A and B are shown apart, each in its own frame.
Chain A
Amino acid sequence: MTKQPERIFVKGNEAVARGALAARCKCFFGYPITPQNEIPEFMSAEMPKTGGRFVQAESEVAAANMLLGAGSCGIRAMTSSSSPGVSLKQEAISYMAGSEIPAVIVNMNRGGPGLGDIGPAQGDYYQSTRGGGHGDYRLLVLAPATGQEAYDMTIKAFDLAFKYRNPVMVLGDAILGQMKEGITPWQPEGIDDEAGRDWALNGADKREKRLIKSLFLEEGALAGQNKHLQAKYEDMQSYVEYEEFETEDAELIVCSYGSIGRIAKSAVRTLRAQGKKVGLFRPITLYPFPSEPLLALARQGKRFLTIEHNLGQMVDDVRLAIRTVADSEFAPIYPGNLPVPEDIEGPVLKCLEGK
Chain B
Amino acid sequence: MSEMNEKLVFDRPSAMIDRPTHYCPGCHHGVAHRLVAELLEELGVVEKTIMIGSIGCSVFIYNYLNVDAVEAPHGRAPAVATGVKAARNDKFVLAYQGDGDLASIGMAEILHAANRGERIAVVFVNNTVYGMTGGQMAPTTLVGQKTTTCPDGRCADREGSPIRMTEIIAELGGTAFAGRASLDSVKNIRTAKKYMRKAFQCQLEDRGFGFVELLSACPTNWKMTPLQANERITNEMIPYFPLGVFKDVTEEGGAC
Write the residues of chain A forming the contact surface with B, with a CB cutoff of 8 angstroms.
26-27, 29, 53, 55, 57-59, 61-63, 65-75, 77, 91-92, 95, 99, 201-206, 209-215
Taken together as a complex, chains A and B put the C-alpha atoms of A61 and B73 apart, in Å, by 10
Query: Are A213 and B81 also in contact (CB < 8 A) when A92-B76, A203-B49 are?
Result: no
Main DSSP-derived SS at the A contact region: mixed
Instruction: Determine the chain B residues whose CB is within 8 A of the CB of A212 once the complex forms.
Output: 69-71
Shortest C-beta distance, A42 to chain B (Å), equals 18
Query: Are A203 and B87 also in contact (CB < 8 A) when A65-B109, A209-B69 are?
Result: no
CB < 8 Å: which of A53, A62, A91, A205 contacts B108?
Answer: A62
Q: List 7 A-B contacts (CB under 8 A).
A: A65-B79, A66-B80, A73-B50, A73-B83, A206-B47, A209-B69, A212-B70
Q: Which residue of A lies closest to B83 (CB)?
A: A69
Instruction: Determine the chain B residues whose CB is within 8 A of the CB of A65 once the complex forms.
Output: 72-73, 76, 79-80, 83, 109
Q: Mark B85-129, 1 if CB is under 8 A from A, else 0.
A: 111110110000000000000001101100010000000000000
Instruction: Determine the chain A residues whose CB is within 8 A of the CB of B83 once the complex forms.
Output: 27, 29, 65-73, 77
CB < 8 Å: which of B46, B47, B84, B92 contacts A72?
Answer: B84
Instruction: Determine the chain B residues whose CB is within 8 A of the CB of A201 once the complex forms.
Output: 50, 68-70, 84, 88
User: Is there an interface contact between B62 and A73, defined as CB atoms closer than 8 Å?
Assistant: no
Taken together as a complex, chains A and B put the C-alpha atoms of A13 and B111 apart, in Å, by 30
Instruction: Determine the chain B residues whose CB is within 8 A of the CB of A205 once the complex forms.
Output: 47-48
User: Is there an interface contact between B69 and A211, defined as CB atoms closer than 8 Å?
Assistant: yes
User: Is there an interface contact between A69 and B71, defined as CB atoms closer than 8 Å?
Assistant: no
Taken together as a complex, chains A and B put the C-alpha atoms of A206 and B66 apart, in Å, by 12
Query: Are A202 and B80 also in contact (CB < 8 A) when A53-B86, A62-B108, A62-B109 are?
Result: no
User: Is there an interface contact between A210 and B68, defined as CB atoms closer than 8 Å?
Assistant: yes
Taken together as a complex, chains A and B put the C-alpha atoms of A71 and B79 apart, in Å, by 12
> Is B59 at the interface (CB under 8 A from chain A)?
yes
Shortest C-beta distance, B208 to chain A (Å), equals 16
CB < 8 Å: which of A66, A99, A204 contacts B86?
Answer: A66
Q: Mark B7-50, 1 if CB is under 8 A from A, else 0.
A: 00000000000000000000000000000000000000011111
Taken together as a complex, chains A and B put the C-alpha atoms of A27 and B85 apart, in Å, by 10
> Is B82 at the interface (CB under 8 A from chain A)?
yes
CB < 8 Å: which of A58, A62, A204 contacts B68?
Answer: A204
The count of A-to-B residue pairs whose CB atoms sit within 8 angstroms is 142
Shortest C-beta distance, A265 to chain B (Å), equals 39
User: Is there an interface contact between A69 and B46, defined as CB atoms closer than 8 Å?
Assistant: no
Instruction: Determine the chain A residues whose CB is within 8 A of the CB of B91 once the complex forms.
Output: 202-203
Instruction: Determine the chain A residues whose CB is within 8 A of the CB of B68 once the complex forms.
Output: 201-204, 209-211
> Is B52 at the interface (CB under 8 A from chain A)?
yes
> Is B67 at the interface (CB under 8 A from chain A)?
yes
Taken together as a complex, chains A and B put the C-alpha atoms of A214 and B52 apart, in Å, by 13
Q: Which residue of A lies closest to B78 (CB)?
A: A62
Taken together as a complex, chains A and B put the C-alpha atoms of A174 and B92 apart, in Å, by 40
Instruction: Determine the chain B residues whose CB is within 8 A of the CB of A75 once the complex forms.
Output: 87-88
Q: Which residue of B lies closest to A52 (CB)?
A: B86
Q: Which residue of A lies closest to B65 (CB)?
A: A209
Instruction: Determine the chain A residues whose CB is within 8 A of the CB of B46 once the complex forms.
Output: 204
The 7 closest A-B pairs by CB, nearest first: A69-B83, A66-B83, A65-B79, A69-B80, A75-B87, A73-B87, A213-B71
User: Is there an interface contact between A69 and B66, defined as CB atoms closer than 8 Å?
Assistant: no
User: Is there an interface contact between B112 and A58, defined as CB atoms closer than 8 Å?
Assistant: yes
CB < 8 Å: which of A70, A99, A215 contacts B87?
Answer: A70
User: Is there an interface contact between A209 and B66, defined as CB atoms closer than 8 Å?
Assistant: yes
Query: Are A77 and B73 also in contact (CB < 8 A) when A205-B47, A206-B47 are?
Result: no
Taken together as a complex, chains A and B put the C-alpha atoms of A206 and B82 apart, in Å, by 25
User: Is there an interface contact between B73 and A204, defined as CB atoms closer than 8 Å?
Assistant: no
Shortest C-beta distance, B131 to chain A (Å), equals 16
User: Is there an interface contact between A55 and B86, defined as CB atoms closer than 8 Å?
Assistant: yes
User: Is there an interface contact between B47 and A203, defined as CB atoms closer than 8 Å?
Assistant: yes
Taken together as a complex, chains A and B put the C-alpha atoms of A350 and B209 apart, in Å, by 64
CB < 8 Å: which of B66, B67, B73, B88 contacts A91?
Answer: B73
Q: Which residue of B lies closest to A76 (CB)?
A: B87
User: Is there an interface contact between A66 and B82, defined as CB atoms closer than 8 Å?
Assistant: yes
User: Is there an interface contact between A72 and B73, defined as CB atoms closer than 8 Å?
Assistant: no
Query: Are A68 and B67 also in contact (CB < 8 A) when A75-B87, A91-B73, A203-B48 are?
Result: no
Instruction: Determine the chain B residues whose CB is within 8 A of the CB of A69 once the complex forms.
Output: 52, 70, 72, 79-87
User: Is there an interface contact between A62 and B79, defined as CB atoms closer than 8 Å?
Assistant: yes
18 new A-B contacts, CB < 8 A, other than A68-B73, A69-B70, are A26-B87, A53-B86, A62-B82, A65-B76, A66-B86, A68-B70, A69-B72, A69-B82, A69-B85, A73-B88, A75-B88, A201-B70, A203-B47, A204-B67, A206-B47, A209-B68, A210-B69, A211-B69
Shortest C-beta distance, B120 to chain A (Å), equals 10
Instruction: Determine the chain A residues whose CB is within 8 A of the CB of B52 once the complex forms.
Output: 69
